[in-house]
Structures are given as structure tokens and as C-alpha cells.
Amino acid sequence: MPRAAIPADLSPRAYRRAADFLAGLDADWARHVAAVGPCRHEAKPGREPYEALVRAIAHQQLHARAAEAILARLLALYPDADFPSPQALLATDEQQQRACGLSASKLVAIRGIAQAAADGVVPSRADALRLSDDELIARLTPLRGVGRWTVEMFLIYTLERSDILPVDDYGVREGYRRLKGLDKTPTPRQMRDIGLAWSPHRTVAAWYLWRLPAQGVHPPGDTVRASAGDAQP
């Protein structure tokens, strides 16, 4: 049975409650939460799932500035809209879209998302808010270029879900290794089992773990990394 959606409560009070919960787990968490300070996770609610997924594909394997430049050129093809509708995106000549800097595989993925949105496979935001985390993962991961990690970033940043732990994310697993002084980074399966103890605050736990990885590994808001199954450039 799909796990029910965790209500979107990422208010400052909820952040404090989550941070206090994590700090109470053990001395390592207590030191880290104290060193980092209050959680300053920033979601981007309000976007339609279709737009959020298209933007996610554009950002995969690119630094945020490079991805935003490509998106700006793509959006310039549609001056009468803040973001092109699925129908408008599909009606545009593919060579024009490629000229914006999109790789062939990313363009196929983006147009596939647009077709899925037009067909009702990608839900509206109103419908997505009524679906559980597991239901959305099952519904969206069959789309080309949309791996579990991409859907989890969508759940965290667009739908403001508060109990998401992206175990395929290297930053999360490496962060935990550094938190605990382990010799090896946990596998995704190990990380999933470990993270059960952090529910229902796993989104905030991920935010704190992203503050720990070695230099050169950044949280998703800076450099977006694709996991297995996500589109490659």
C-alpha cells in the first residue's frame, strides 16, 4: 500500500521541531545541528509539476548558471507566456529548441514530459497535492529522463514534502559518512534503512547532511546531479 503523503509543513516552527528532533538522536547529530544552526531549506512551491520536471531535466548534470542560461534561451521562444504550455512546447520545431543548448537526450526527455502532461500522466499541481509520495514516484519515474532522484527533488522543492530522503544522492550518503566518521559511504539501501529513524523529518535531515559532504559536492540548489535513471547531457 502506498505510503500516505506527509502534510506540507516546512514553516520555521516545523524546521525548529525537526532540528530539535535530529539533535536529540545522538551526540553527532547534536554537534552538527548546533554547528550549522537553524535549517534554512527553501522550497519553490507554486510551480506546476510539468514545469518543475522540465526545469529539472534542463538542470541535470549542469551547474545552475549554465542550466538557467539554456532555460532562458528556451523560454525566449515563447515571449507571450511565463512558461510554455505542453502543447506549445510540442508544436515548436525541435531544431529551434536544440539551438538553445539542450542536448538531444534532454530534448527527447523534455518533449516526453510535455506529451505526458498533455495526456494527463503528469498531474496538475492540485492533483499532485492529493497523491502520496509513493504514488507520484511510481507515476513519474517511467518517464524518460525522470529517475527517482528527480521525483524526490520535485517532492522536496515543489510540493514541500517534509519526509523525503533521497538515498541515491551522493551528498546525503557522503554527508552521513562524515557525520559518523565512517570508513565507507553507505549504500542507498543502507541509507534507506538508517534514515527510517529520522521520519517524519527526513527532508530536514537531508538538508543537514548536504551541509557535510567534502568540498566539491554541493546541495541540489547549486549543482544538480542526476542519479541512475535520470537524463544524461
Please give the distance of CA 144 from its chain centroid, rounded to a whole number. Answer: 16
Cell 510539468 belongs to 50
* Cβ atoms within 10 Å of 55's Cβ, excluding its own: 20
- Separation of alpha carbons 15 and 156, rounded Å: 14
3-state secondary structure of 87: helix
Q: Is 169 a catalytic residue?
A: yes
Which stretches of the chain are assigned E, i.e. beta strand? 62-63, 223-224
Three cell numbers at 57?
A: 531535466
Give the dihedral sign, CA 163/169/174/177. positive
Choose, from 133, 163, 168, 169, the residue flagged as catalytic.
Answer: 169
List the one residue out of 230, 233, 231, 175 whose CA is nearest residue 204.
Answer: 175
Cell 509539476 belongs to 49
Three cell numbers at 117?
A: 502532461
List the one residue out of 29, 4, 8, 5 whose CA is nearest residue 19.
Answer: 29
The residues carrying an active-site annotation are 169
